[in-house]
Structure 1
Amino acid sequence: MSTGGVRTTERAEALREELIRARLAGGGARAQRRVSPRPVDRGGPLPLSYGQQQMWFLSRLEPDSWEYVVPVALRLRGPLDVDALRRAFTGLVERHEILRTRYALAGVEPVQVIDLPRPFELPVEDLTALPTVDRERRAAELAASAPGEAFDLEAEWPVRASLLRLGADDHILVVIFHHVACDAWSVRVFAEELSALYGAGPAPAPLPIQFADYAAWEREHLTGGVLQRHLDYWRGQLDGVPPLELPTDRPRPATRGWVGDAVPFAFPAALTERLRSLGAAHDTTLFMTLLAAYQVLLGRYTGRTDVPVGTVVSGRTLPEVQRLIGYGINSLVMRGRAEGDPSFAELLGRVRETVLAAFDHQEVPFARLVDELQPQRDMSRTPLFQAAFTMHEERTGAFALPGLTVETLSAPTRVARFDVTLQVEEAADGSLRGTLEYVTALFDRSTVERMTRHLVRLLESVTAAPDAPLSHHVVLDADELALVAPPQELLDPPARCVHEVFEERAAACPDAVAVVYGGERLTYAELNERANRLAHHLRDLGVGPESLVGVSLERGIDLVPTLLGVLKSGAAYLPLDPAYPADRLAFMLADTAAPVVVTVAAHVEKLRTIHSGRLVVLDEDAAALAARPATNPAPVSTPDNLIYVIYTSGSTGRPKGVCLTHANVLRLLTTAEEHYAFSARDVWPLFHSYAFDVSVWELWGSLLYGGRLVVVPQAVTRSPEDFLDLLVSHRVTVLNQTPSAFRGLVALAAEGDRRIDALVLRAVVFAGEKLEVPELAPWVARRDLERTALLNMYGITETTVHTTYYRLVDADLAPGAANPVGYPLRDLTVYLLDADGNVAPIGVAGEIHVGGPGVARGYLNRPELTAERFVPDPFGPPGPASTAAATWPGAPPMGAWSSSGASTTR
């Protein structure tokens, strides 16, 4: 067991005094003379200090909480004089009134009731009758359970102790203080004075005042202009400070939990020396240097440059209270600002001023500050700050009992007051030991362990190059980079175009049904011939490789042969969905300057007003098309030529035409085949508009493998009941859906629709939107994940439909489970970069970057955006467009697509 429940910065306090003593000596507002505390009349009510009152109130709300106790456990080896130790305790409680103070209500206000001294009870539990192994176990149990025994502050003193005898010269001393009467500073005073009273040194000097006198002084001093000056400072510093949203492993509970754990870690000796040297060079303390680095790390984890971190101070700025035991600590909020990508050296200057100013205004009790600022009430988090930092000297070294070897006993942290708390202890030899405490309801231990490694790595980096911008400092090591973005598998580039692969399939199964729409059907041979006639016609109109041919057709039997015919002509198709507004269609036609549009008579009038080029009207030109050859045209395009241009929605500005190639599409199907085992037995619905790139997956996932494509009528896409009928009647095996579209089928499953049981679906592929996995539970209850695989495939137009693959398992539907995006297809890399181009740590939100042969050629007629978004691979050779560290081994120098609007977590 340790004093881990105590939060303080007595070391920082001492260092702060060294730094600002000269400033205060210079006069001014900060050096105003204050009336020193004096003993007060014990005949009247004795008020609590502000800190005591808050602790008293909280402990009444949760009397059994470990948060409100300060445990100390020591292993004492040697000839212990139990009577002398008992006398030392008696002398200690006689010397410090706070240790023999009870708390009662005087009306509605708590007051201190100081008892007369009496001999201190130090019970001894003799465990020597137990076998040796059982003694250790029993002693550990007793020591660990002691903090859980609640104090009755109205009836008993706020300190208790017991002695466990394991042998004649082997004891464990367990001391439990209530926090209302003790803090970490007090533990050191307790250690020194207990040692002195036991006989290790001269008797302690008389105390000029008691803690009750200090409490009365504080109440009288912190009023009027003094209080207003401090409050004005904190209003300016903290008004409107937003919560720190650290990425968590589990959703934040509605009510904050206090159960915690802690991860210890070490600071290498060489690093510690560099930290000291860096502080000396910039006139900062070790506390300030570590605080600055901690705020940088939290900024990396949250994507923020404004990071509030809380710390605690001992409150003992007056010489009269230096030797007092009592609850004197107060919380301060240090708002770290790293706007403008400063160097770490520059940030140190900012942090130094923030810390000094905060200490100058530390007298406002934190509870009073919260009341004054009134942050939005949120039971799930602590007010004003959610991350804390403390630094202290080794506390137990002050225990020096003559003839005894004293060893501090530690136990796992049981309480975490904040989401995360960095605690650094400075040993007597100058070495540093760290602990990162965390709330177990939010974080896994592995996550916190990773954070400690990142902090050490960041410290190594900033001490090596303090003048480099913060964005240049990397927190991940080479192993983590390899884990985050493993090298993609380099496949042989496609040697054919999409339509050439289709031609081979049509020759192999000419009589198989290829396309169905309502009562109409086309075999592979019929589809190929119709496409060939249109291709020959288009070639005669002058289109060819890199040409764009607009296609403006409703869903129907003509749609697929038209798209295929455009490809066979050598051109690429431009989807012009007739459902689009006229101004959007006009923009796309003007932007592409498409020379030809294929349509039907129903859309001619609309197109004539926005397109000055040639129209091929399928129903009006039927005779001319029928006269064209039915044979495959001679190939003129290559896999690197355009296959289609699909325009973005324009939700972030002007719509952009994304240019994809035949090679992009074919490698998608090649890499996905291992997951799907595409087959001629499969039936796919063409559910989506051909202007939405998921249609590319539906078209060629079926037709290049001999499957059947069912074109879904527009009205059926809007009716879950009718669509379910279609899925059953056509025996669809592979269904592609946006999560919002699939909700209609989930609702039917929840209603018990028996047609769900008649489905032969082997896979449902989700794309286009974020998948809310818990919403699928009613579906899975009717069709388990073995009967119908549910597959989440994240992707965007710029990376050829799909980028990642994930097959859901039952555990994904559990409450609070993560929402996995999945793993990159094997020829792609996916990595998340922060705003500075550094790889985001695992679990941290970042901007998605995709690298590999799935990345589109670029944006049509938008070279400035192509250069911005289609950047060099961040893990490849560094260049002007890539600021990420090129430390990932083996990455091929391919392009990467950066999504400015997409962020997720791994």
Structure 2
Amino acid sequence: METAANLFPLSYSQARLWFLHLLAPTSPFYNLQIDMPLQCAIDEAVWCRVISELVRRHEILRTVFHAVDGEPVQQVLGALTVPVASVDLRDTPPGAREEAARRTALEDAQRPFDLTRGPLLRPTLIRLADDAWLFVLTMHHIVTDGWSMDIITGEIAALYDAFVQGEASPLPELPIQYADFAAWQRQSQTLEVLGAQLGYWREQLDGYQDLQLPTDFARPSAPSYRGAFQCATTALPVVDGLRRIAQREGATLFMALLAAFQVLMMRYCGQDDIVVGTPIANRNRPEVEPLIGFFVNTLVMRARLAGRPSFREHLRQVRETALGAYANQDLPFEKLVENLQPQRDPSRNPLFQVMFVLQNGAAQRGGPAQAPSYQPGPAACSGVSYGNAKFDLTLYLGEDNKGISAIVEYSTDLFADDTITRLIGHWQTLLQSIASSPDVPITRLPLLSPRERALLLTDWNSTATVYPRDATLGQLFRQQALAAPDAVALNGEDGTLTYGELARRTARLARWLRQQGVQRGDVVGICLPRGIDMVATLVAIVEAGAAYLPLDPACPPARLDAMIGQASPRLIVSRSGAAGAVGRHGPALLDAIDLPADDSAPDSGADADTLAYVLFTSGSTGQPKGVCVSHRNVVRLVRNSNYCTIAQGDVMLQFAPLQFDASTFEIWGALLNGARLEIAPPGLPSLEELGACIERAGVTILWLTASLFHQMVEAQLGSLWRVRQLLAGGDVLSPALCRRVLDELPGCVLINGYGPTETTTFAACHRMERGAALEPRVPIGRAIANTELYVLDQEMQLAPAGVVGELYIGGDGVARGYLGDPELTAQRFIPNPFAPPNSGQRLYRTGDQVRYRADGALEFIGRRDHQVKLRGFRIELGDIEAVMRRHPLVRDACVIASGDSGGADRRLLGYAVLERAHDIHALRRFLQQELPEYMVPATLIPLDAFPLTPSGKIDRKALPPDQGGEWLAHAPFAEPQSEIERLIAAVWREVLAHERVGLDDNFFDLGGHSLLLQQIHSRLAGLLGHSLSMVDLFRFPTVAALARHVEQSGEHGGEHGGADMPDSIDLLDQRIAQQRSARAERRHRRST
């Protein structure tokens, strides 16, 4: 078959590769390479003749590619000389020749091809010795595939054997060529013909989820395709076990291995809906079997893994899915993407992000395609990498008589090498688990090696230290008072007390409490402003054997009533003018009581397990819940710990409200270690007043909430120059501001402190150092002393390092539970499954999503309830916030999801505290460059400051509602105004055949796809005279965004730009009107 100038359409597979080539025309990531070791004498002239004959008989090897009117075509050249490069390594030392040959092959593999000029193959003969050669053939994937490589090696061998003996070619002439197949595919595979298959795939992929692999690095807005690979081998006994399981279920080894890979992805992603791509040979007609060319199609294998199936049950589902996919394999993957129109994202491959390939000899016509022996090939495991990755992750498997070899190719944009090393280890362990226990639920199959399990369970939780775990707070305070009675214990606006004076005062008050009937285990309310009376009273309460209950007089009366009703305090201590709404509960007023003269501490009968205080926190039902904390919980926090050193001579600031557990660290950290507690003035001081207080008092140890930390670093960093240890936490810290502290306060140790109230202030801490990696997230660190941290999956199994799971906390800091709520206590405080039976040890379930880094430090990912699903994508709001905080003008950021879950009005709202409010537009442009389109908030709202909860965290419920003041994803139709906007909209209307296109319309939402994008690119590049790239069109998918990009680059005004632009728009409008009339006429003819 011939056409004018031998131009032919591209096959669907070729069209996709052409599109990818346009995105990265200088990238070699679709170069394929094979090598043929030749242990014989080679006649180079004969070898060159063989290559020439190969090029003559296969037209695809002398084909080049162009765009004509924006449409890609392939052109078969009448003749094409393909030179065979020759490299002689005989002068290289024998021990270095193999490495030199690999280096030569690698350099050739990394050289890109020019698809418009050709040739698209580069043969090289490398001479290692007189009778030892290596033939290396590098080709572009657009003209070959794995099956083709087998044809090439076979035909080269047959032709050389004949030519070297002076014989003619033994190969029969080919009845058809690849271009004939491409033309036939375009003519025959219309949607009418493939409608049933399209229906199958629509149903099969309805509501699918993108795979959310946990990555080490933030996903770039557009991939670089830089990659690497690692290798491993699964022993034959394991493979035989898998084969037997497959045979019993009527499945193939391919199906069993695919099922295992899907299980691995499920365990890594925490999803029960897994989509994986796999290639299929697509040569189900005998006349195409001997052809060289790119025939491979890609099938999308979806697995639904909900309901805890066993592996055997899952394999049955995979078998049915695979057979259905094979029966509907004729639909080109490119047409599937075009018709399903998944949410387009230039950072991800459409429909799937991981690929699974099995090589097991010659591929069957209707079965999976063999893994390319050329990519990366056996030599890859020697450590040579071509440096490319087409997908996030590809698993190549090859079967031989030793077992199964695995090559994992991965994007280095996303993954660190040690992450993939662990993943391969988990793959090996999983296969062994499946082979031995196919009837175990897949969620229970072990992934961890014994060494890794020991690391997670023991090594990273070896935090036990010697500390006075059986002592009470009162006993330890008395020890400090006896050791240094004249040292200053408290200092504030209302005076100064030494340790001796404070001890005598608290003893008298404790005796008075006992006289009022307060017993061990009772609860005593305390409603006092920040000051010496407040601290002395709470010390007296614990010395009396009771637990203090902080009550805030500014709290809404109904909430106060609820707290007092739940706790049933024996009495409430306050003072005149301070009781507020607590006054109606009849508090005892300190300024109206007579204390006993005896200043010796009473015998309280308390021990380390006695209740020390009750703190009420917000509950999900809206009702406060009281957390019960023991003496041991507090002592473990502040004595002999490993995250912060506190000693006599230190000065700590008491600033946190008593009803929040940061005050526990401040007060007891000072008093149990002989430090001075500087009490900040009552009320909420300004940043300037707080900075002056810190500097005046010479504070050396300071705790700040994340939001206050950010504000102080921005406005009052100079006042912190004496601080020796600065702890911040309670929310996500800004890496940029942390780095600023480390740079400008070299004498200060900065510590990120993490811990829920239920585990007594801190459970993990991360001490930061100058130059340390703090992005994309500042780690929350390792377990503090006498604390255990477990990252568990939904089955309460240990999550591997790097895999996101829920954090469970054990150790001496775990509180007793919730006051008067045994049901909630049983839900959140569970028996420790890793402790000896009947040990009584418990874990607190935090609800926080975290993961271990390779160094054992934890990264906080977000709350389980801060994860949203939007337009089919699962989004962690913390990821977006982390990127927003990276902008140099953003002080702090917060993202929420607005609208009904799953509803059409569901969208993301981003809030930012900025240097200047008008920087909101710069922030949007930054986010469009850094994030996939679906993760960019629909609306960005600048704030002067965030509303805060009383504990200093961002109050998400108090954020202002969206008033539509910034860009909206679903804004009303906006008419293009500028000439560039009108021109872009006119081109879109023409190519998309739309009546109108608005400023904020998204190209892909209007039905655009990759092939139409090429036409858009071709037209706009000519009309604007602008060096637009295909990536630009992906990154700026609305008229407004693309026009801004063109205008800001300042390069427009080409042959049809500038003064001629209105004429171009008018001409386009005329053509659109003509197209509309033609379509109307065709509809009329069909109707008649």
TM-score of the aligned structures, taking structure 1 as reference length:
0.86
The change in CA–CA distance for 1:497 and 1:380 in structure 2 (over 3 A counts) is same
Partner of 2:572: 597
Q: How far off is 1:718 after superposition?
A: 4.0
The one-letter code matched in structure 2 to 1:419 is D
**Among 297, 319, 324, the residue aligned to 1:357:** 324
Which of these residues, 115, 123, 133, is aligned with residue 161 of structure 1? Answer: 123
> How far 1:782 moved relative to its partner?
2.1
Counterpart residue identity of residue 614, structure 2: V
Residue in structure 2 matched with residue 80 of structure 1 by the alignment: 42
The answer to whether the Cα contact below 8 Å between 2:491 and 2:678 also exists between their aligned partners in 1 is: yes
Which residue does 1:853 correspond to in 2?
A: 812
1:698 has 2:666 as partner:
yes
Alignment of 1:748-827 (within 5 A): 748=715, 753=718, 755-756=719-720, 759-784=721-746, 787-812=747-772, 816=775, 819-827=778-786
> Structure 1 CA distance, aligned partners of 2:833 and 2:52?
68
> What is the 5 A alignment of 1:327-726?
327-393=294-360, 409-410=379-380, 411-427=384-400, 429=401, 431-486=403-458, 487-489=462-464, 491=466, 494-604=469-579, 606-609=581-584, 611=585, 615-619=587-591, 621-622=592-593, 624-625=594-595, 627=596, 629-651=598-620, 653-672=622-641, 674-715=642-683, 717-726=684-693
| CA displacement at 1:120 relative to structure 2 | 5.7
Call closer, same or farther: CA 1:408–1:79 in 2, change over 3 Å.
Answer: farther
Letter in 1 for 2:445: H
In structure 2, relative to structure 1, the CA distance for the partners of 1:124 and 1:527 (3 Å cut) is closer
Structure 1 gaps of 5+ residues are 1-38, 397-406, 880-891
CA deviation after TM superposition for structure 1 residue 567, in Å = 1.1
* 2:233–2:404 CA contact under 8 A, matched in 1: yes
Q: Which amino acid aligns with 2:121?
A: V
Q: Are 2:245 and 2:435, in contact at CA under 8 Å, matched by a contact in 1?
A: yes
Between 854-863 and 57-66, report the one with greater CA deviation. Answer: 57-66
> Which residue of 1 is the match for residue 841 of structure 2?
894
Higher relative contact order by CA 8 Å / sep ≥ 6: 1 or 2?
1
Which stretch has the larger CA shift, 372-381 or 334-343? 372-381
Equivalent residue of 1:793, what SS? Answer: strand
Q: 2:76 aligns with which of 109, 114, 121?
A: 114
> Could you tell me which of 178, 181, 199 is aligned with 2:161?
199
Q: Superposition pairs for residues 211-250 of structure 1, below 5 Å?
A: 211-250=178-217
Residue in structure 2 matched with residue 834 of structure 1 by the alignment: 793
Deviation at 1:172? 2.0
1:14 matched to which residue of 2?
none
- Give 2:447's aligned amino acid: V
- 1:734 paired with 2:701, answer yes
Deviation at 1:453, TM superposition (A): 0.5
| CA shift for structure 1 position 730 | 0.8
Partner of 1:303: 270
Whole-angstrom CA distance in 2 between matches of 1:134 and 1:540? 91
Confirm whether residue 55 of structure 1 aligns to residue 23 of structure 2.
no
Describe the SS at the equivalent of 2:357.
strand
Q: How far apart are 1:373 and its partner, in Å?
A: 2.8
Deviation at 1:142, TM superposition (A): 2.9
1:100 aligns with 2:62: yes
User: C-alpha displacement at 1:167, in angstroms?
Assistant: 2.8
Deviation at 1:442, TM superposition (A): 1.6
Q: Which letter does structure 2 place at the counterpart of 1:894?
A: Q
CA distance in 1, matches of 2:662, 2:280: 59
SS of residue paired to 2:639: helix
**Alpha-carbon distance between aligned partners in 2 of 1:317 and 1:375, rounded to the nearest angstrom:** 28
Q: Distance in 2 between matches of 1:80 and 1:419?
A: 41
Contact kept? 1:75, 1:409, Cα under 8 Å: no
C-alpha distance in 2 between matches for 1:103 and 1:212:
12
Residues in 2 aligned to 1:827 and 1:135: alpha-carbon distance in whole angstroms = 57
Q: Distance in 2 between matches of 1:345 and 1:683?
A: 63
User: What displacement does 1:76 show?
Assistant: 1.4
Displacement of 1:279 after TM fit?
A: 0.8
**Contact 1:575–1:645, Cα closer than 8 Å, also in 2:** yes
Equivalence for 1:34: none
1:868 aligns with 2:840: no
Change (3 A) 1:665 1:111: closer
Matches within 5 A, 1:263-278: 263-278=230-245
> Which ranges of structure 2 fall in alignment gaps of 5 or more residues?
164-168, 364-376, 853-857, 859-1088
Q: Structure 2 counterpart of 1:482, which letter?
A: A
- Whole-angstrom distance in 1 between the partners of 2:572 and 2:754: 32
Conservation of the 8 A alpha-carbon contact between 2:6 and 2:75: no
Return closer, same or farther for 1:770/1:129 CA change in 2, 3 Å cut-off.
closer
Does structure 2 conserve the Cα–Cα contact (< 8 Å) formed by 1:648 and 1:657? yes
Are 2:28 and 2:111, in contact at CA under 8 Å, matched by a contact in 1? no
Which string of whole-angstrom CA distances, capped at 9 and with x for unpartnered residues, describes residues 809-849 of structure 1?
A: 113356x3652222212322111001111101101111111
Whole-angstrom CA distance in 1 between matches of 2:712 and 2:264: 45
Q: Structure 2 length as normaliser, TM-score?
A: 0.72
* Residues 420 and 90 of structure 1, relative CA distance in 2, 3 Å threshold: same
Question: Is contact 1:90-1:120 (8 Å) kept?
Answer: yes
Contact 1:454–1:475 at 8 Å: present in 2 too? yes
Deviation for aligned residue 1:570:
1.2
Tell me if the contact between 1:646 and 1:657 (Cα under 8 Å) persists in the aligned partners: yes
| CA deviation after TM superposition for structure 1 residue 205, in Å | 4.8
Structure 2 counterpart SS, 1:667: helix
Q: Is the 8 A contact 1:390 1:422 kept in 2?
A: yes
User: Is the 8 Å Cα contact of residues 425 and 449 (structure 2) preserved in structure 1?
Assistant: no
Q: Hey, what does 2:293 align to over in structure 1?
A: 326
Structure 1 CA distance, aligned partners of 2:647 and 2:22?
69
Deviations 1:629-685 (A, max 9, x none): 33321232122110011122224654321111112211222341x553322211111
Give the deviation of 1:303 after TM superposition: 1.3
Say if 1:87 and 1:120, in contact at 8 Å, map to a contact too.
no
CA shift, 1:795, in A, is 1.4
Equivalent pairs, count: 829
Alpha-carbon displacement from aligned partner over 1:430-483 (angstroms, at most 9, x marks no partner)? 731101111112211111011001011111112211111122212112211221
Given that 1:310 and 1:385 are in contact with CA atoms closer than 8 Å, whether structure 2 keeps it comes out as: yes
How far is 1:762 from its partner?
0.9
Q: What are the Cα deviations for residues 307-348 of structure 1, in whole angstroms up to 9, with x where unaligned?
A: 211122222122222222101122222222111111111111
Residues 879-901 of structure 1: CA deviation (Å, up to 9, x unaligned) = 9xxxxxxxxxxxx7722222124
CA contact (8 A) 2:233 2:403 kept: no
- Write the distance in 2 (CA, Å) between the matches of 1:392 and 1:506: 76
**What is the CA–CA distance in structure 2 between the aligned matches of 1:70 and 1:455, rounded to whole Å?**
26
Q: Percent identity?
A: 37
Give the letter for the 1:276 counterpart.
R
Return the offset for 1:267: 0.6
Paired residue secondary structure (1:224):
coil
Is this contact kept in 1: 2:751–2:765, CA < 8 A?
yes
RMSD: 2.6
Instruction: Pick closer, same or farther for the CA change 1:794–1:152 going to 2, 3 Å.
Output: closer
Whether the 8 Å contact between 1:765 and 1:790 is mirrored in structure 2 is yes
